[in-house]
Amino acid sequence: MIVVTGMPGAGKDEFVQIAKSFGMKDVHMGDTVKTYAKRTGVNMTDRDIGSFATVERKNFGMDIWAKRTGESISDPDRTIVDGLRNTEELEYFRNNFNNVKVVAIYANKHDRLDRIMHRNRIDDVKSENELDMRDGRELSWGIGKTISLADYMIINDGTLEEFKAKSRDFMEKIMSIQ
């Protein structure tokens, strides 16, 4: 199982797309959050979804989104999980699945903001100030520690094609290890 972490806009989704081309099934923790948020009538804005996720963590534990996401994983050896945010989630995956590898995707803030502003997701931030607030929220959940504890890190500091090539190289190596 590969579990992916990284700040918003770092390139996690692009990495997941490459992993899928290697036969991996993708599961997104953010989709789990959105599914639960919709059920309770939460507005589909970054701020409201983030607040909902925070409240659920306070009420049910920091690993609640990992637990809820883990329920949908049927073939862990061929699954990539996107959206690791804290060490409690990491512990959940490591305690409940075999051979968990954490991959951190890193990009600087300027590049992340530029990517976010061009991807047109309905729940994305719309300004640098909003990105600062989102980064602060995710850092408060512990994402910085998950990035620092990752087994592997891929730096996304070039073109999209360069990042895809780095991601393909990584997947070729990791698949040959297993």
DSSP assignment letter at 24: P
- 41-55, 79-93, 111-125, 151-165 — which is least confidently predicted? 111-125
pLDDT digits (tens, 9 = 90+) for 106-138: 999 999 999 999 987 877 888 999 999 999 999
Nearest to 84 by CA among 167, 16, 132: 16
In a domain, 148, yes or no: yes
CATH number, domain containing residue 162: 3.40.50.300
Q: Where are the beta strands (DSSP E) in the chain?
A: 2-5, 25-28, 79-84, 101-106, 152-155
pLDDT digits (tens, 9 = 90+) for 150-164: 999 999 999 999 999
User: Which residue range is the domain that position 115 belongs to?
Assistant: 2-170
In a domain, 39, yes or no: yes
- Our count of domains for the chain comes to 1
What phi and psi values does residue 68 have, to the nearest 5 degrees? Answer: -65, -35
Question: Is the pLDDT score of 178 beyond 70?
Answer: no
In a domain, 176, yes or no: no
